[in-house]
Structure 1
Amino acid sequence: MKLPIYQAFRAALLHFLDDPENELEPLHTEYFPDGILLIKDGYVEKIGSAHELINSLPADCELIHYPEQLIIPGLIDTHIHYPQTDMIAAYGEQLLQWLETYTFPTERQFADQEHAREVAEFFLDELLRNGTTTALVFGTVHPESVEAFFAAAEARNLRMIAGKVLMDRNCPAYLQDTPETAYTESKALIEKWHGRGRLSYAVTPRFAPTSSREQLAKAGELLADYPDVYLHTHVAENRDEVAWVAELFPESRSYLDVYQQYGLLRPRAVLAHCIHLDAADHECMASTGSAAAFCPSSNLFIGSGLFDLHATKASGVRVGLGTDVGGGNYFSLLRGINDAYKVTQLLSKKLSAFQALYLATLGGAKALYLDDKIGNFAVGKEADFIVLNFKGTPLIERRLQHCQSLHDKLFAILMLGDDRSVTASYVMGQAAL
């Protein structure tokens, strides 16, 4: 009989039991200045103060100590494109021109599974180096891109969600599929990979302009045939895009309504950007259980607009944070939080450090309907977590000497942090970085 493997991680610990709301004295927050996270066979067994737990650890428990560091749940990226890794930080275009100039030529290369494998390995290394342990990921139209990504993620025991892009019009011929191949290729990938280990599949129409009505209907069939898979797409990112959708789908009330008419809005539907939506759209997303991926980096970098986080959440819509690489110009969700704060400031709102970190942890888990598995340190959760260094850079170390409250300390780390702040990333209790 195999004996359980216990590990105890000692450091400052911070996580959320629910939305802390936008307060400096937050609700639903647990913080232990000197805490222990006890892991049993890769799952959370117990969390508490070191003073209370240190003398009751199992006799064969390995104790790993990170003094002057902070352990938080692994970060969750709710929208990112792994094939766009090599075109990150591309110059000078807004969305529609950016796709034609940079995205489509780059994605053409992913018909080659060896190229896809090499990019996937680098991409996952980069996620983990930046503290991201779960992501919702676009592939390309090529099934090979998804095969390569899932194989790389499975080898690392990562909780990842990905899918093959569906795109049968308004794109280069070398990237087009058909309604029929979109269905059959996605079906084969779902049956091979969905629910295998920690992997899940997302039906992935790129966005409404690149899918015909017939293809959107096939996407709806896939969701009906496999009701526990995800739907991952874009909506209302750019005003020219919104106007184009209105021309292509004059029968629809709004851009979002296109997806609703084809049965694509539901729990586990995640729509990136959601910038140019109205109150009726927000109500539709909330009532269907769909989630928004807030991508401040790419929204600013491509010049798309400002996402109103407060109005979206007030409507009851689930919201997670995304980097949207390669439209976003970094992998770091700490930097994403930095930009999210600035976007809310431009909208004359506030975003506390607690609310911001919640978006990147438990909030992201809720957006992905994975909060029963990841997102905090509740007993029984999968032990994905990261270690943040209070001395990650000389500037952070100096700034923290002048912080009085937990909020001020956390805010400084989030505003000044990046990959240099991440000491380690753990996946199911095992070091992955």
Structure 2
Amino acid sequence: MSTATVSRSEPGFPWLIIASGCLITALTFGPRSAMGFFQLPMLADTGWSRADFGLAMAIQNLMWGLGQPLFGALADKKGTWRVLALSAILYATGLAMMAAPQSIWFLHAGGGVLVGLGVASGSFGIILAAFARNVTADQRSLAFGMGTAAGSAGMFLFAPISQSLIDSFGWSDALLVMSAMMLIVPVLAVPLRGNSSSGTQKQTDIDQSIAEALREAFGHQSYLLLTAGFFVCGFQVAFITAHFPAYIGDIGIDARYAVIGIALIGFFNIIGSLASGVIGQKYSKPIFLTLIYIGRSIAVTAFLLLPQSATSVIIFSAVMGILWLSTVPPTNALVAIMFGTRYLGMLGGIVFLSHQIGSFLGVWLGGYLYDIFGTYDPVWWLGVALGLFAAAVHWPIKEQPVPRPALTAAE
């Protein structure tokens, strides 16, 4: 690895790049966060089970996770715009296949594989890595918070949009409309053209091979703990995204509160994500993450044990919204602190793969155990236990760069 240094002037805040990335994140995160609204009308028309739908959404989350480090590495090397253009094609095709499921395989291949790969190549991992390469270390946590908040805004907006489209045109045509929306992404991504290995990082972050970066990361205890903890985030949020609308109906609450609940999660997630960016810039990120996971476990426990009503749904949704994606800015910032930004797309993608393995299990177990027990309660309580596990593994994480004795000695 080279030890030469590069002199750079202090850059201003890249508002055009940030705005472009935020719009893309909102657009790519919105439809996949609204998948739960399609479950019951689709199953009513096709006769499939909740386990069938849950498996498709689980595949989607798994493909998102598997694709993230690959697309992240591709964006690191070839540029962000190319990967985002590919995302638009994959995402639009997947939603179109999901809209006309001639068999269950159309649902699994379209809504599962292609939509999952479309999200992997167009959401947080790609956008936040691009942000990191164009802001200073002091600006990074705030930029991550803004990008994450934009995804939350997509969730907030697409909850009522998707339900309105379903009510007006039916679930199939609603998916086709959202498929067409994805084709806007390459246009929005124009300011990110040429955005690859550049920006504010030091040369010591740049001249490292992929093999060296992977070997360094997998030998670092704090990185492994962060990866293990992020699994839990995926389990919790994916289960709620996919099954909360159906759960609301199961407990006898009017279906409109499912729309309100998901929209509230998205709205308060905007606040939580922005606050997370600010808090993570000033205070310990590992301790902050510990408190987030404890808060989630407390919120779910209270929701299950206290009387459930429309009011409790609203309160629970608001609280979970604050905690929803507030894990993303400090998690990505910790990876950047540990290893720099040269391979942030790939290394952050590996952490996110763990998140999506958790998402796969959360979505799939939600449908599978419901079909066995007739209730979602076992998965809710499993999420509570996993939240406490995540709190425990984040506590000992060290918020500092990985030791590089050879580089230090050479410099």
State the TM-score, normalized to the length of structure 1.
0.23
More strand by share: 1
State the TM-score, normalized to the length of structure 2.
0.24
More helix by share: 2
